[in-house]
Structure 1
C-alpha cells in the first residue's frame, strides 16, 4: 500500500509542477493538469495514507492489549526472542538470511546467527 501512496503522491506532484509551468508559459490544457494533480492527491494518496495509518494504529493497539495483562515477565523472557518477544515491537519483523560483513568470515549468509565480537 505504501507503494501506491508514494506513486500517487509523486504523480500528483509531477502533474502539479507541469500545471504550474503550463500556467506560467500559457499552455492550453494546464487546467487539466491541476485537476489531475489534486484528484491524485486528494482521491488516492491521502485516503490511502489514512487507511494505512488506521491499520497501523489498530495493529499497535492489538499488540499492546496482548501484552498488557502479562503477569510473569520472567517466563516470557525465557522464550525464543525471534518467534515471540516479551515486549511488543511495532515494526514489521523480517526473517531470513543475514549477511555478515567487515571481515573474511562475513562472506557467507547465516540463518539466525547473532553478531558477536571476536567469536568464531
Structure 2
C-alpha cells in the first residue's frame, strides 16, 4: 500500500511539473554538457547529489522520469532546475535548465551535476 501511494505521488508530481519543463525546453538550455558515462549512472548520480540536505537544506528533492524515447529527466520540486539526459553513443548528452540560472541554488545544482560527468 505504501508503495502504491509513493508511486501515485511521483506520478502526480511529474504531471504538475511537465508544463514548466516544456516552457523551459522552448528556450536554449542553461548549459549543455557531455559525459562518457552511461545515462542511467549519470542520472542516479545527479539525483543523489541534488538530494544533499547539507547543500540544499529542506528543499533537497530530486526525482527521475523516464521518457519512451530513452531520455531521462532529473528534476527538482516544481521543476526549478532539471536536466535532460540522452544516450549519445556509449555516453550521455546533458542539457541543464534552471528557472533562474543566476540563483545560488541553481548554480550549486549545476556544480553538483558537473561532478557526475
Q: TM-score, length-normalised on structure 2?
A: 0.24
* Greater fraction strand: 2
TM-score of the pair, normalised by structure 1? 0.24
Between structures 1 and 2, the one with greater helix share: 1
Flag the structure with more relative contact order, 1 or 2, with Cα contacts below 8 A and sequence separation at least 6: 2
